[in-house]
Amino acid sequence: MVKSETLPGEKVIAEVSPHPLAFSALTVFWTYVFAVGLVGLIYREQIAEWANTMPIFGPFIGPYAPYLVVSILILVPALIYALIKIVWRYLIISFLITVVPPIVYPLIGGEMWWTFPTLMAVGLIAIIGIDLHRRAHKYIITDRRIIFLYNGLFKKTRRDIVYSRISDLIMEKTFLGKIFNFGNIIPISQASMGMGEDLSALTVDGGVGGKGVGVGGAVTGARGVNVPRSRSFYILYGVPHPEKIYDAIIEGFKSSEEAPYLKKILEKMEEGRKL
């Protein structure tokens, strides 16, 4: 496979894929979803009985208490993850698998408790899908460029960046990466490929209302910071032994810089022979 991706005379320095723990945050989340579904399936009757003992609202929410508890246990962590990572799709998916099934299943003649096996199935499928997603990444470092390959089930991408186009090279490790020795290497191109933006915003509003009359106002302030970040198939994401890969890229970068000068020296030597 590597030979088909490289040019004649191009030397492959390293070929790596993401570490098995590179996507551990997602794996932990979907394992948690599976566990919550399992607990809900086992203890749904006990939760409903406990809710029935609550004063005033107990008899009304009792039958639905297991689904409310499970929804809260999944949606709150999903919301926190979405706010930290600025990725909303997991919150949307969590809403769809916790709120929609208890409503839809009875409408189509099913049982409401099918929600819990659904959560377990979605969690298990997601865990398998994450590992397949990880295996679909491949990074090839040569003496001329870095090749980023992603061959997923629904998407195939390739990015090539030659060393002469790299303006900066950043290596980072998370706490887990420091323990198990894996991390991200982000090549920043001259077109700022590999950069993202973190935005913090503060909104303050107020209003005064009367009979038929209202006055309101709002003040919003925002501040953005450019940070090295990109999709996993556009950077070397979660690669094992990142220091070695970083050094290999630096060596390739030096070789690419030295090549034009060596070529000029050889041309001068050829001219000298002709004289």
Q: Is residue 93 part of a domain?
A: yes
Q: How many whole angstroms separate alpha carbon 187 and alpha carbon 192? A: 9
Q: What is the pLDDT of residue 250?
A: 85
Domain enclosing residue 30, as ranges: 24-133
Confidence of residue 67 (pLDDT cuts 50, 70, 90): very high
Q: Is residue 19 part of a domain?
A: no
With a cut of 70, say whether residue 58 has pLDDT above it. Answer: no
Q: Which of 173-177, 211-215, 266-270 has the highest mean pLDDT?
A: 173-177
Same domain assignment for residues 72 and 117: yes
Q: Is residue 118 part of a domain?
A: yes
Same domain assignment for residues 49 and 104: yes
| Domain end among 133, 161, 179 | 133
The more confidently predicted of residues 214 and 118 is 118
| Domain end among 107, 133, 159 | 133
Q: Which pairing describes strands 166-172 and 156-162: parallel, antiparallel, or unpaired? A: unpaired
Same domain assignment for residues 147 and 266: yes
| Domain end among 133, 153, 175 | 133
